[in-house]
Amino acid sequence: MKGDNIKKFFIYFFLALGAIVMVFPFYWMISGALKTAAEYNSYPPVWVPSNWLNFDNFVRAFQKAPFQTYFLNSLLVTLCSVTLTGIVTILGAFAFSRLRFPGRELIFSFLLAFMMVPFEMMVITNYQTVTKMGIINTIPVLIVPFTTSIFYTYILKNFFDTIPDSLYYSARIDGASNWKYLWRIMVPIAKPSLVTIMLLNAISSWNSFLWTSMVINSDKYRTIPLGLFAFMTEGGSDPKLQLAASTVSVLPMIILFLFARKYIVNGVARGGLKG
Amino acid sequence: MTAKKKKKREGGEFNNGLEPVIYLLPFVIGLLIFTVYPIINVVLMSFKEGYRLSGSFTGIGLKNYTQVLGDKNFANAVRNTFIYVFSVVPIATVLAVIIANLLNQKIKAMALFQTAYFLPMVTSSIAVGLSWRYMFNTQFGVINWLLGVFGAGPIDWLGATGGQAPYNIFVIIIFGIWNMLPFTIILLLSGLQNIDPMYYTAAKVDGADSGMIFRRITVPLLLPTIFLTMIINMISSFKVYNEVIPFWSGKAGALSNNLYTMVYYIKETFYSKLRLGNAAAASIVLFLIIFVFTMLQKWVQKKFDY
């Protein structure tokens, strides 16, 4: 089958070529962060840094701006957001999927209509609201406005809907309360869906920029993307230091992706088209 | 759900009383404060003239809309946004169809390829954008180096000469395509995997070659997914903002205003110029555009029973 081999070769050739293009910006970021000044400034470009353990640029970036603070802020915001939004979503999805109350279907169809309104349109009012609440320029301002997510509730409700009614009835007849049924039976069954929601939430929380750039103006509450932005505008004009800082900011998400690729990809594939 | 079953469910064997309220309370509070109220408020705000951050205003009318629609910067923002959307989405779609088809073959090292192709989905545009910024550097960047190898360039991607910066928009278009590919490939790949293998078997039995199978079976059956993916991508890319930020350190292009996008305009008008009414009117215009495409999406979903 000579023809098959040629076909195979072309498939791999084009896939590899595309993969290189996709990964190259990451490689360039990390290798740039590890280069010496001479290596970085030479042309034609130096493709491989001479010393892969040259962390000078990282040390200098951390000396110039408190990236450890930014990093911890991002971590705190992401963890709180994932936990809080997770709980609110589980409770809401359960009510919409399992509990009967008047107007349930009507309310839910309204919610789906709200999903098409871009967050950018709500930014002005939300800015005024968080100012009145007195949480502007604090950590909670990055968490509180996002606890209710129609999109995540929609995904989880759909999953809850697939859990057979009979399970609910037998649990209730055995004397389990709604509360117990939700946490002991539904949540464990829905674990794959929940993990997906939490991962998507963690990614968007970690990378959030527009809202953060409006509501945080003091250095000590900056998250990683905002800290990085501030660093490029006011701190260092040295590209190597910026690349070092960028590397630190993308690394947690890259690691998360390497470990949870299947969950993330499945979640996007399932949620994407309906969103 | 059958009618009989539905009736039974709605009757409900268990009296939940006020229990749903407890479960829904956190959700509803957040929804009312941060989604419902802002939507109503922004519509009202767009008609309030001279509206201030404190909430005071001087009159009611269409002045915000006439001001925004007459603003050169807004016209420019709409133009840039449309150029961005209608170049990034089609190009990304074509590339994604090819890549998704290659990834749908029986190949080794699938995990490795998937990781490579999907990685940009999880990383911040600000951070990776910085790397792209230095790749686009006129003197030292790898992109101009590569062009030089083929005897082309160098191109002044990020800069401006004589008050003109024609290449700036290509920077965010190229970056935008790269950013959009992972999501698009994932959706198309799942669309491909939903095609019944029976079609392929039948075509092979009838002696169709792989080019014919791709044109006559894969593309037509994938078409609904392609349509939907394009519309979703258009909706999200009308909101282009983060992609502009890293290249000019937060400015909209080398001339500071040549690369305004609609969201960039809304943010500037609100946050820097404090013209809240104008920003509200601009965001309503953005919403109307997105609304049209959302209706298109619903229509496609209904038509193809997605």
Give how far B212 is from chain A: nearest CA, Å.
15
Q: Is the pLDDT of residue B2 over 70?
A: no
Look at A114 and B35 and tell me if their CB atoms are within 8 Å.
yes
Look at A100 and B225 and tell me if their CB atoms are within 8 Å.
no
The two three-digit tokens of residue B39, written as one number: 């939507």
- Write the Ramachandran bin of B55: left for phi over 0, alpha for psi from -120 to 50, otherwise beta: left
Count how many Cα atoms sit within 13 Å of the Cα of residue A203 in the half-sphere of its side chain: 24
The two three-digit tokens of residue A232, written as one number: 């490029």
> Considering chain A, what is the average pLDDT of its residues?
90
Q: Please compute the mean of the pLDDT values over residues B79-96 and round it to a whole number.
A: 96
For A4-17, what is each residue's pLDDT tens digit?
Answer: 788 888 889 999 99
Q: Please compute the mean of the pLDDT values over residues B143-166 and round it to a whole number.
A: 87
The answer to whether A224 contacts chain B (CB < 8 Å) is yes
| pLDDT at residue A225 in the model | 93
The two three-digit tokens of residue A22, written as one number: 């996709």
| pLDDT at residue B36 in the model | 94
Chain B residues with CB inside 8 Å of A100's CB? 9-10, 12, 16, 20
Give how far A2 is from chain B: nearest CA, Å.
15
Look at B131 and A229 and tell me if their CB atoms are within 8 Å.
no
For B229-262, what is each residue's pLDDT tens digit?
Answer: 998 899 999 999 999 999 998 899 888 889 999 9
- Kindly state the DSSP code that residue B59 receives in the 8-state scheme: E
Q: Please compute the mean of the pLDDT values over residues B289-306 and round it to a whole number.
A: 84
Search chain B and give the residue with CA nearest A85. Answer: B27
Q: What are phi and psi of B194, to 5 degrees?
A: -85, -5
Give how far A273 is from chain B: nearest CA, Å.
7
Distance CA B260, CA B28 (A): 36
The two three-digit tokens of residue A141, written as one number: 């301002």
The two three-digit tokens of residue B11, written as one number: 């009757």
Distances (CA, A) of A272 to A152, A267, B195: 11, 8, 18
| pLDDT at residue B3 in the model | 42
Identity of the amino acid at B28 = V
Look at A45 and B142 and tell me if their CB atoms are within 8 Å.
yes
Chain B residues with CB inside 8 Å of A125's CB? 37-38, 41-42, 45
Chain A residues with CB inside 8 Å of B187's CB? 268-269, 272-273
* Residue pairs between chains A and B whose CB atoms are closer than 8 Å: 273
Strands (E), B11-166: 48-49, 59-60
Contact, A20 vs B112, CB < 8 A?
no
Distance CA B144, CA B141 (A): 6
Identity of the amino acid at A97 = S
Distance CA B238, CA B87 (A): 12
Look at B127 and A118 and tell me if their CB atoms are within 8 Å.
no
Confidence band, pLDDT 50/70/90 cuts, at residue B175: very high
Residue A102: exposure state from Cβ atoms within 10 A (0-12, 13-18, ≥19): exposed
Q: Is the pLDDT of residue B107 over 50?
A: yes
Chain B residues with CB inside 8 Å of A111's CB? 31
Distance CA A103, CA B213 (A): 49
Search chain A and give the residue with CA nearest B103. Answer: A15
Residue A114 three-state SS: helix
For B53-83, what is each residue's pLDDT tens digit?
Answer: 888 888 888 999 999 999 999 999 999 999 9
Look at A95 and B20 and tell me if their CB atoms are within 8 Å.
yes
Using CB atoms, pick whichever of B16, B225, B270 lies closest to residue A100: B16
Using CB atoms, pick whichever of B28, B102, B124 lies closest to residue A249: B124
Beta strands B48-49 and B59-60: pairing type?
Answer: antiparallel
Q: Please compute the mean of the pLDDT values over residues B207-212 and round it to a whole number.
A: 82
Q: Is the pLDDT of residue A275 over 50?
A: no
Look at B239 and A120 and tell me if their CB atoms are within 8 Å.
yes
Dihedral of the alpha carbons of A133, A136, A139, A142, in degrees to the nearest 10 = 90
For A59-76, what is each residue's pLDDT tens digit?
Answer: 988 988 899 999 999 999
| pLDDT at residue A165 in the model | 87
Distance CA A178, CA A168 (A): 9
Look at A148 and B31 and tell me if their CB atoms are within 8 Å.
yes
The answer to whether A106 contacts chain B (CB < 8 Å) is no
Q: What are phi and psi of B15, to 5 degrees?
A: -85, 110
Contact, B145 vs A44, CB < 8 A?
yes
Domain edges within chain B: 17-60, 68-303
Give how far A190 is from chain B: nearest CA, Å.
18
Distance CA A14, CA B52 (A): 56
Domain edges within chain A: 1-54, 58-274
Any idea which architecture A58-274 has in CATH? Orthogonal Bundle (1.10)
Buried-exposed string A107-142: b where 16+ CB fall within 10 A, e elsewhere: eeeebeeeebbbbbbbbbbbbbbbeeeebbebbebb
Look at A125 and B38 and tell me if their CB atoms are within 8 Å.
yes
A148-162, A247-261, B198-212: the lowest-pLDDT one: B198-212
Look at A29 and B131 and tell me if their CB atoms are within 8 Å.
yes
Q: Which residues 46-105 of A are in CB contact (within 8 Å) with B? A: 87-89, 91-92, 94-95, 99-101
Residue with tokens 């953060």: A212
* Runs of H (alpha helix) within A162-274: 165-173, 178-181, 187-189, 191-207, 210-215, 224-230, 239-274
Distances (CA, A) of A151 to A142, B13, B31, B187, B270: 18, 29, 12, 17, 27
Q: Please compute the mean of the pLDDT values over residues A22-36 and round it to a whole number.
A: 94
Higher pLDDT, B46 or B151: B46
Residues 6+ apart with CB under 8 A from B5: A165
Q: Is the pLDDT of residue B9 over 70?
A: no
Contact, B114 vs A8, CB < 8 A?
no
Distance CA A207, CA A227 (A): 12
- Write the Ramachandran bin of A3: left for phi over 0, alpha for psi from -120 to 50, otherwise beta: alpha
| pLDDT at residue B6 in the model | 44
Superfamily for the B68-303 domain: MetI-like (1.10.3720.10)
Confidence band, pLDDT 50/70/90 cuts, at residue B14: low
Q: Is the pLDDT of residue B108 over 70?
A: yes
pTM: 0.91
